[in-house]
Amino acid sequence: MEQTPKQRTESRGAGVKGALAALAGRLSGRESVPWLLAGAFGALFAGTPLLWGAYPLGLALLCAAVQETPAVFVGLCLGAVLPWGGGFAYVVVYMVALLARLLLSVPPVRDKLPVRGEGYFGEPLQARVAVCLLVSLAAAAYEIAVSTLTQETLLFGIGTVVGSTVLCLVFWGLFSRGITADDLLGHAGARREGVRTKERLALEAGALALLFFGAYGLRAAELFGMNLGYLFSAACSLWVARRFGALRGCAAGLVVGMAVDTLYSPAFGVLGLLCGALWPLGSFYSLCIGAASGIAWCAYVGGLSGFLGVAPEITVAALLSAPLMPRLYSSAIAEEVRQDRQAAEEAVEEYTDTCRDNTVERLAGALDGLGEMLGRQADTPDGESCFALCDEICTRYCASCPGRGGCWDSRERPASVALGLMAARLAAGQTFSVGDMPTPLISSCERLEALLGEVRLAGARLWREKGHGDGGAARGYRLMAGAMRRASERQRGETAANPQAAKKIRHLLAEKGLRPSAVRVQGRRRTRVVISSPELAGKKEALDALHPALEGACGCRLSAPVHEAQGGMTVALLESAPRYFLDVAFAAGTADGSGVSGDTLTTFSSPDGYFYLLVSDGMGSGALAARTSGTCTLYMERMLAAGADTEASLQLLNHLLTSRREECSATLDLLEFDTLRGGAAFLKSGAAASYIRREGNLFRLRSRTVPLGIVEEVDTERLEFDTQAGDVVVMVTDGVSQTSEDAPWLIEFLSGPLGGDLQGVANAILTRAKEQNGSRDDLTVVVARVHSA
The DSSP-derived string for 657-709 is: HHTSSS---EEEEEEEEETTT--EEEEEESPPPEEEEETTEEEEE----PPBT
Query: Given phi > 0 = left and psi -120 to 50 = alpha, else beta, which region is 668?
Result: beta
Contact 663, 703 (CB under 8 A): no
CA pair distance 588, 603, nearest whole angstrom: 15
The helix or strand, by DSSP H or E, that contains position 603, with its residue range, turns out to be strand 599-605
Contact 599, 586 (CB under 8 A): no
Question: What one-letter code names the amino acid at 622?
Answer: G
Contact 169, 151 (CB under 8 A): no
> Is the overall model pTM greater than 0.85, yes or no?
no
CA pair distance 789, 784, nearest whole angstrom: 15
Contact 102, 121 (CB under 8 A): yes
Burial of residue 307 (CB within 10 Å: 0-12, 13-18, 19+) is middle
Q: What is the pLDDT of residue 461?
A: 73
Q: How far is CA 361 from the centre of its chain?
A: 28
The helix or strand, by DSSP H or E, that contains position 234, with its residue range, turns out to be helix 228-244
Q: What is the pLDDT of residue 593?
A: 63
Burial of residue 771 (CB within 10 Å: 0-12, 13-18, 19+) is exposed
Contact 595, 622 (CB under 8 A): no
Beta bridge partners of 572: 531, 563
Q: How many residues does the chain have?
A: 789
SS3 620: coil
Contact 54, 163 (CB under 8 A): yes
Contact 682, 718 (CB under 8 A): yes
Sign of the torsion angle spanned by Cα atoms 386, 389, 393, 398: positive
pLDDT (tens digit per residue) in 150-201: 888 888 888 888 888 888 888 888 877 667 666 666 654 444 444 567 777 8
Listed in sequence order, the residues at least 6 apart from 711 whose beta carbon sits closer than 8 Å to its beta carbon are 426, 429, 430, 431, 456, 459, 460, 658
The helix or strand, by DSSP H or E, that contains position 605, with its residue range, turns out to be strand 599-605
Give the Cβ contact number of residue 672 at 10 Å.
19
Taking CA atoms, 353 is separated from 346, 356, 376, 536, in Å, by: 11, 5, 40, 20
Q: How far is CA 179 from the centre of its chain?
A: 33
| Kind of pairing between the strands at 779-788 and 580-589 | antiparallel
Q: What is the pLDDT of residue 81?
A: 85
Q: What is the pLDDT of residue 195?
A: 55
Contact 182, 189 (CB under 8 A): yes
Low-confidence ranges of the chain (pLDDT < 50): 1-17, 19-20, 23, 188-194, 332, 372-378, 467-471, 740
SS3 84: coil
Residue 452 has phi, psi (to 5 degrees) of -65, -40
Beta bridge partners of 610: 674
